[in-house]
Amino acid sequence: MKKTAYSFPEEVLEHVFSFIVSDKDRSSISLVCKSWYEIERWCRRKVFVGNCYAVSPPILIKRFPELRSVTLKGKPHFADFNLVPEGWGGFACPWIRAMAGAYPWLEEIRLKRMVVSDESLEIIAKSFKNFKVLVLSSCEGFTTEGLAAIAANCRNLRELDLRESEVEDLSGRWLSDFPDSYTSLESLNISCLGNEVNLLALERLVSRCPNLKTLRLNRAVPLDRLPNLLRGAPQLAELGTGAYTSEMRPDVFSNLAEAFAGCKQLKALSGFWDVLPSYLPAVYPVCSQLTSLNLSYATVQSPDLIKLVSLCEKLQKLWVLDYIEDDGLEILAASCKDLRELRVFPSDPFGLEPNVALTEQGLVSVSEGCPKLQSVLYFCRQMSNAALNTIARNRPNMTRFRLCIIEPRSPDYLTLQPLDDGFGAIVEHCKDLRRLSLSGLLTDRVFEYIGTYGKKLEMLSVAFAGDSDLGLHHVLSGCDNLRKLEIRDCPFGDKALLANAAKLETMRSLWMSSCSVSFGACKVLGQKMPRLNVEVMDESGPPDSRPESSPVEKLYVYRTVAGPRLDMPGFVWTMDDDSALRIS
Amino acid sequence: METTEKTPQKTTTTTSSGGLNLKATELRLGLPGSESPERDEDGGGGVKGGAIRGFCFSSDGIDGKWNLSEMGIGKDVGLFSPPTPREREQASVIKQKKPQISSAREQVVGWPPIRSFRKNSMATTQKNDDVDASQAKSSSNCLYVKVSMDGAPFLRKVDLKNFATYKDLSSALHSMFACFTISQCGTHGVSNRDELSESKLMDLLHGSEYVLTYEDKDGDWMLVGDVPWEMFTNSCKRLRIMKSSEAIGLAPRAMEKCKSLN
């Protein structure tokens, strides 16, 4: 008996689809047939837009009329490191305005690297009656006034997370705008705020919200207020302290230790600005239950770090400064067998001489001792092919590997050779590697390895590497799953780019700055590929005021169904069919 | 790229408002005592040989035109005293191109790849912490502030810790924003950046109608150069290269603050 798709009523299909949550799967479902496309789009509740310019608000709204959750990303990743000039774009307002009209039942908005105005926040506050989650990650453009609007109006707010956003902190008063009747807060992250919030209001808010699980304070919250806050929320799972220093008084310490001991569900700790080492033992009571520890702002020495970390046997994620040194990492490797993610940040990134005893050895130790290690971000000053080889063989389960050797173009310090073979070993052995950041002295050969072995690679970051276009060509032609490629200061030019133009439509975006791509090539690319936006950034004036062969400062290419964007600032030009007309 | 032109109208109202000689407190470019007649007509003229106020302390004493008694400033205020030998030296190196390189490495933009939030956090931490001397001596904290220029289509961020003096900062900003000013002043006969000699660049910018201002911790806009360098870096939140026509009224406030600080 022949069974067909339409032997099921729509409602049944809808119900079945409701169990499919991943975007990829949803996308696959929608491609089965027209009726499935229709059913799917009406019951899609959550959408992730990795590049806000790849699509437009009207297109989104037309296809998905009943969304409850939207995630948008704006600026390219290199904006984090000041490579994208101010005013480039990523404006949230047009999206928020459009969604305010189309989705009265919207519950969640998550934005990353976007420019959000107070006006946008006010629109959110007034338009969505059931608004629950606001996450602004690395955003900017708003002030505490906008936050006040959210606090005052969003009766059902569960999550307010401002992680690493640049907020103009006008006053700490906004926190008091949460009405006394408001009790639904589950997660609050204000760690990026500069000024003091109204501490009394904070304490009252924390103690009246029984479901509060995540509380990340800002530096301005003094340590002696922490015990009260903790006592008001013993159910906390994640805590970010404020400044972790105070006049050394025995009562402050015992108060703090007692308060920590009362938090039986605490799994994650962060904050720790301005740490006074003698206060660290106050957290010892919770160490054995911690799975996540962010000490990357704690400027304490290795012995104190070691004491703390060696007690955290369940630790899965550790972010720490290089004060931990090789010795500390060795202890970590011995104590924390469940470690999945390690990030080691530099305490003195611009100093000429190493200030701590942290070398490639630390990372090797951890790769040896921690069988579940799969995500690494490591800043150091020396590396060898041998070490990388060892790490690769130890950890074939590595999925994210970002190594930053501080001095650009540093060779293998033992052999003075390029680090091609070392990184080659990483891509060869770590077959599930999805993200890779390179550094050190590298020739075209490393890109040949990457193109050959990096079949699952989705994101690659390259700086000061390679010899010629061949390098870029290897990557574009070999990495089947490449989505994001960001390159700076490499001698890559026109040939590889134009030869692999079609590849760019299969990727989210390509960033190239301070490379050798000519203006003429950008024009050709723009004209050849109508479904790509080829944007040239040049702060010294219109690119056509210079010869066609002169290299462009910055190039950002991304696929889009929305055509060239209309909100570009004066230093960005789109190359397309009309590019000749547009530049004038 | 258009610039907002100051309407001549405003100039006339200030001089005719109730007999107050506001022109005396009007911000001038150039040394006290030097004439700048073009300013009365339009905003586009150039004053040759002057210096952006606040950077060049080589004043020749108090000029009656400034009507200092009206502003309540006595003769002793450092702003108007004869240049010290250090200031003379600073004035003579005004043409220095590169910012002073400290014992830290010369910084490449965006390298090593660390987010500004982290950099700024670490900067304040290292200042406050009781870490032992070997770490404390590392000179390379970062203090990023945004720099905008009236009429320019882009903002920049500079790290104030890269500079040791106002001269360094001034030179760096001149290079950063020179390209914009040049494209604005096509009539000066400068078409190609490469052809521009350094002295010409300085003249162009000194002759332009811009002053360097900053927003301090209290949210007030002040002229750059009025306070000692260390004090400036501690309180500067943001920089703005302002059209001098818009900077009227900054001078008195700056004096007030200066007084209260001394």
Q: Which residues of B make CB contacts under 8 Å with A?
A: 1, 103-105, 107-118, 121-122, 125-126, 128-132, 134-135, 138-140, 142, 144, 146, 148, 153-157, 179, 183, 193
Beta strands in B83-205 (DSSP E): 144-149, 156-159
**Residue B78, pLDDT above cutoff 90:** no
Most confident of A374-378, B1-5, B258-262: A374-378
Distance from CA of A442 to the nearest CA of B (A): 17
pLDDT digits (tens, 9 = 90+) for A485-505: 999 999 999 999 999 999 999
pLDDT of residue A184: 97
Give the range among A198-202, A437-441, B258-262 with minimum mean pLDDT.
B258-262
pLDDT of residue B95: 33
Most confident of A49-63, B87-101, B149-163: A49-63
**Residue A579, pLDDT above cutoff 90:** no
pLDDT of residue B215: 87
One-character DSSP codes across A146-201:
HHHHHHHH-TT--EEE-TT-EEE---GGGGGGS-TT-----EEE-TT--SPP-HHH
pLDDT digits (tens, 9 = 90+) for A283-339: 999 999 999 999 999 999 999 999 999 999 999 999 999 999 999 999 999 999 999
**Residue A442, pLDDT above cutoff 90:** yes
- Give me the percent of chain A exceeding a pLDDT of 90: 89
Q: What's the pLDDT band for A258 if we cut at 50, 70, 90?
A: very high
pLDDT digits (tens, 9 = 90+) for B155-174: 777 878 778 888 888 888 87
**Residue A32, pLDDT above cutoff 90:** yes
A186: closest CA among A158, A223, A225, A167? Answer: A158
Give the range among A315-324, A520-529, A565-574, B204-213 with minimum mean pLDDT.
B204-213
pLDDT digits (tens, 9 = 90+) for B109-133: 899 999 988 988 887 765 554 443 3
A-B contacts (CB, under 8 Å): 111
CA torsion angle A134 A139 A143 A144 (round to 10): 40
Map residue B69 onto helix, strand or coil. helix
Distance from CA of B201 to the nearest CA of A (A): 15
Q: What's the pLDDT band for B179 if we cut at 50, 70, 90?
A: low
3-state secondary structure A95-114: HHHHHHHHCCCCCEEEEECC
Give the range among A215-224, A435-444, B100-109 with minimum mean pLDDT.
B100-109
**Residue at A408: amino acid letter:** P
- The span from the CA of B233 to the CA of B216, in Å, is 9
- The span from the CA of A522 to the CA of A534, in Å, is 7
pLDDT of residue B183: 43
- Give me the percent of chain B exceeding a pLDDT of 90: 2
Specify the pTM: 0.77
pLDDT of residue A455: 97
Q: DSSP class of residue A428? A: H
Q: What's the pLDDT band for B64 if we cut at 50, 70, 90?
A: very low
Give the range among A13-27, A225-239, B27-41, B62-76 with minimum mean pLDDT.
B62-76
**Residue at A260: amino acid letter:** F
- Give me the percent of chain B exceeding a pLDDT of 70: 34
For chain A, the average pLDDT equals: 94
**Residue B107, pLDDT above cutoff 70:** no
Element (H, E) at A487: strand A484-488
Map residue A343 onto helix, strand or coil. strand
The pair of structure tokens assigned to A43 is 């019951």
Q: What's the pLDDT band for A248 if we cut at 50, 70, 90?
A: confident
3-state secondary structure B78-103: HHHCCCCHHHHHHHHCCCCCCCCCCC
Chain A CB contacts of B117 below 8 Å: 164, 166, 192
**Residue B81, pLDDT above cutoff 50:** no
pLDDT digits (tens, 9 = 90+) for A63-113: 999 999 999 999 999 999 999 998 999 999 999 999 999 999 999 999 999
Q: What is the mean pLDDT of residues A351-370?
A: 95
Q: What's the pLDDT band for B257 if we cut at 50, 70, 90?
A: low
Q: Which residues of A make CB contacts under 8 Å with B?
A: 78, 80-83, 85-87, 138, 164, 166, 192, 219, 273-274, 276, 296-297, 299, 301, 345-352, 355, 379, 404, 406-408, 437, 461, 463, 488, 539-541, 569-571
pLDDT of residue A246: 82
Give the range among A56-60, A409-413, A561-565, B8-12 with minimum mean pLDDT.
B8-12
pLDDT of residue A6: 57
- Give me the percent of chain A exceeding a pLDDT of 70: 97
Q: What's the pLDDT band for A468 if we cut at 50, 70, 90?
A: very high
Residue A552 to residues A78, A83, B196: CA-CA distances in angstroms?
17, 14, 21
pLDDT of residue B169: 86
Give the range among A259-273, A291-305, A425-439, B55-69 with minimum mean pLDDT.
B55-69
The pair of structure tokens assigned to A88 is 């480039």
Distance from CA of A345 to the nearest CA of B (A): 9
pLDDT of residue B251: 54
pLDDT digits (tens, 9 = 90+) for A512-527: 999 999 999 999 999 9
Nearest residue in chain B measured CA to CA from A165: B117
Q: What's the pLDDT band for B175 if we cut at 50, 70, 90?
A: confident
pLDDT of residue B252: 52
pLDDT digits (tens, 9 = 90+) for A120-155: 999 999 999 999 999 999 999 999 999 999 999 999
B229: closest CA among B160, B148, B158, B138? Answer: B160
Phi and psi torsions of A225, nearest 5°: -95, -10
Nearest residue in chain B measured CA to CA from A349: B112
Rounded-to-5 percentages of helix, strand, coil across chain B: 40, 10, 50
- Residue B113 and residue A81: Cβ atoms within 8 Å? yes
Residues in chain A: 584
pLDDT of residue B142: 54
Distance from CA of B10 to the nearest CA of A (A): 29
One-character DSSP codes across A234-259:
TT-SEEE-SB------HHHHHHHHHH
pLDDT digits (tens, 9 = 90+) for A14-27: 999 999 989 999 99
- Residue B128 and residue A274: Cβ atoms within 8 Å? yes
Most confident of A567-581, B52-66, B217-231: B217-231
**Residue B22, pLDDT above cutoff 60:** no
- Residue B112 and residue A406: Cβ atoms within 8 Å? yes
Chain A CB contacts of B108 below 8 Å: 408
